[in-house]
Amino acid sequence: MKSPLAPDERSLRAALQAGMAHHDAGRLAEAEAIYREVLAAFPDRPEALVLLGDIAHRTGRSAEALERLEHAVRVNPSAASYHQQLGMVLESCGRLAEAERAYRKALAANGGNPAYLDLGNVLLAQGRADEAVAAYRRAIAQRPAEVAARNNLGRALEAQGRLDEALGAYREALALGEPAELRANFARCAARGARLPADEPFRALLARALDEAWARPADLARPAIALIRADAQLRRPIEAALAAWPARLPATELFGASTLPALSRHALLLALLANAQVCDAGLEHFLTAARHALLELAAGTGDLASGRGDVAARPGELAEGVDFACALARQCFLNDYLFGLTAPEAERAAALAQEIEAAVAAGQTVPPARLAIAAAYAPLGTLACAPALLERDGPAVLHAVLVQQVEAPRLEREQLSGIARRTAIRDEVSLEVRRQYEESPYPRWVGCAPSEPLAFDAHVRELFPRAPLAGLPAQPEILVAGCGTGQESVEIARRFPASRVLAIDLSAASLAFAMRKSRELGVANLEYAQADIMEIGSLGRTFDFISCVGVLHHLRDPLAGWRALAALLAPGGFMQVGLYSEIARREIAAARDLIAARGYAADAEGIRRCREELLASPRFAGVTRLRDFYGLHECRDLLFHVEEHRYSLPQVGEMAASLDLEFLGLVVDPAMRRRCATRLHGGEPDLAAWDAFERDFPEAFAGMYLFWVRKPGGT
């Protein structure tokens, strides 16, 4: 049929202008209809071919997009932008070598073309970080204000292991803009061990990263602690507290005249205390001493440990420290009141709580600092007057404590009645494990890692470029088996928004926390239920992806549990599994033997006494460096768990093979993968290579083995 478009240049330009107006406004169907009319009249018009190719690409018709763009570059091979757009479509299809050629043609056609950024991206995706760095530097030279080029330069430098330079690139990029991916990259690089600048602007950036959860706040705890302990402003009180330890210094000696205001102004310290557990023995001891000193000031009783003196707070002194006291209270709640306390201190803390109850009952105002100090010893939600405290005006820092310790636990209690139970829980070990996590749900996380929305197949391709990806559904069904308090399940649901996620756990207390946080973050594609992996066959569903990290090794029969989960995996489906390493946990196993020999109970007092002995023994230095050592509930899970199994990598491979699951690979830090590959002269490490690597570096899998497998089948 003849096109209604008149075959003259003026009509052509008018039609293209009308089409682009629709295109820019997002009315793609109207724009496409016009472009097709143009091509009916002018079959080789490159502008129309490129614009139509863009619409085809946007609407998921990659084959048509490639056809249109290849036609356009044949018609006008000197147009750099056409080659660049062709490269973008090829890149999105995973055809990286062809995309690279297209970008190089774009640059050859016009050396000033911004394709250097795109070229760097495909080079980096092919593992050619050195060449990618050069491309990104060319892109920055052309466009110094380009945020993406500096961000991606940081990624390439990270891939080379040049963490200090990568952190600098990210920091320069953040001065120009703050896209979510850049914030996450900065936080990840800081957490990976880059040398951290000690200047105040950098400390302020790290404080924001903690407060705004640019990564999991717990991952940023160690870099934050390193900067806090190196800060000249805080060095004197920290060193004084440690020199006196285990004695508690009186407030006058610990704080002096200016320390409390300095603590309350220290943004990085406050952000750390409010968002992540302090995982450092020295800073823990200082904070324990500071809590004691604050109670002393609130009570006016002098040195509580010895009974000497009578040190009443100076007028306004506690008010100067209210921000620090509130942050310390939030830290104590996060670590489940791990800090040790003396008998006189415990008595005075109980007396302070009683005084607050009486004051509220009498209608009196309670100074915010006194409430915060009481909250550092026991949750304010345990006070009978707690509901009344929420109704009172006060500073925002105190309101955050009340929300954490009064309002949030109330919301969790309300969630309990709405938790669905999907399976029976009858196994004896499962019942014991459930009891442990009902008493000790963890972690009490504040923020979780941000997740840019991603297609599931793109995620798998990023992790395992050689993995077979045919037949993956656009909207995968996902199971998180053993979700705990929901941090991982929230991150998965946010990363794959097109998926439907079911997260299960034995513990109702953990699920209640998870449900509250999911609602708080507005995650809509996530459902929670109580269930036992040992009974999971009764669920009656299959899943395209199952994540089971840190769970199977706590079952009575881990292989049976893994088999039950594998039965729920759809043909061609993927599974992420995390299991304890026998080699990495040798010191933990020795600590568990000591606990059994000493008879330490798995309660607060028993855990505190055990920690004191381990901290005093060089034999257990590896245990005391672990992050989970610094929370009461985490420490119970780490050292006092009712059931624990450990494995070697060959055993992991044998178990996967016995279940007819294809082992895709371990998920490891890029630097560690490079170290292992270097031993193989550049080859891709297999399980045998990783096993040899672990024997030479026993702490390589100190957390656990994290790996992916795939079930055969699918299309």
Mean per-residue pLDDT of the chain = 91
- Cα 345 to Cα 351: distance, rounded to the nearest angstrom: 10
Please determine, for residue 318, whether its predicted confidence score (pLDDT) is greater than 90: no
The pLDDT of residue 111 is 63
pLDDT tens, position by position, 540-556: 899 999 999 999 999 99
Mean pLDDT on 699-704: 93
Which has the higher per-residue pLDDT, 589 or 299? 589
Burial of 546 (0-12, 13-18, 19+ CB in 10 A): buried
Residue 333 near residue 375, CB atoms below 8 Å: yes
Q: What angle do CA 643, 648, 652 make, to 5 degrees?
A: 90
**Residue 300: per-residue pLDDT:** 67
Tell me whether strands 543-549 and 526-530 are parallel, antiparallel or unpaired.
unpaired
Residues whose CB falls within 8 Å of the CB of residue 200, separated by 6 or more in sequence, listed in order: none
**Does 3 have pLDDT greater than 70?**
no
Neighbour-count burial for 22-53, b at 16+ CB within 10 Å, e otherwise: bbeeeeeeebbebbebbbebbeebbbbbbbbb
Per residue, the 3-state secondary structure of 669-711, as one string, reads CHHHHHHHHHHCCCCCCCHHHHHHHHHHCCCCCCCCEEEEEEC
Positive or negative torsion for Cα 665, 669, 672, 673: positive
Six-digit token string for 187: 């936080």
What are 21-57's pLDDT values in tens digits? 988 899 989 988 988 988 888 888 888 898 998 898 9
Mean pLDDT of 437-446: 95
Domain ranges of the chain: 9-186, 223-413, 437-585+646-715, 586-639
pLDDT the model gives residue 469 = 73
pLDDT at 376 over 80: yes
Give tens-digit pLDDT for 454-505. Answer: 888 888 888 887 777 777 787 899 999 999 999 999 999 999 999 999 999 9
* First and final C-alpha spacing in the chain: 40
| Cα separation, 648 vs 651, whole angstroms | 5
- The reported pTM is 0.90
- Using one digit for the tens of pLDDT, what is the confidence trace for 266-315? 999 999 999 999 999 999 999 999 999 999 998 864 333 333 333 444 44
For residue 663, list its beta bridge partners.
709
pLDDT score recorded for residue 43: 87
pLDDT at 12 over 90: no
| Distance from chain centroid for Cα 283 | 23
CATH 1.25.40.10 for domain 9-186, yes or no, is yes
pLDDT given at position 462? 81
437-585+646-715 classified as CATH 3.40.50.150: yes
Rg of the chain in Å (alpha carbons):
29
Helix/strand/coil percent split, the chain, to 5: 60, 5, 30
Question: In this predicted model, what pLDDT tens digit does every residue of 125-149 receive, in sequence order?
Answer: 888 999 999 999 999 999 999 999 9
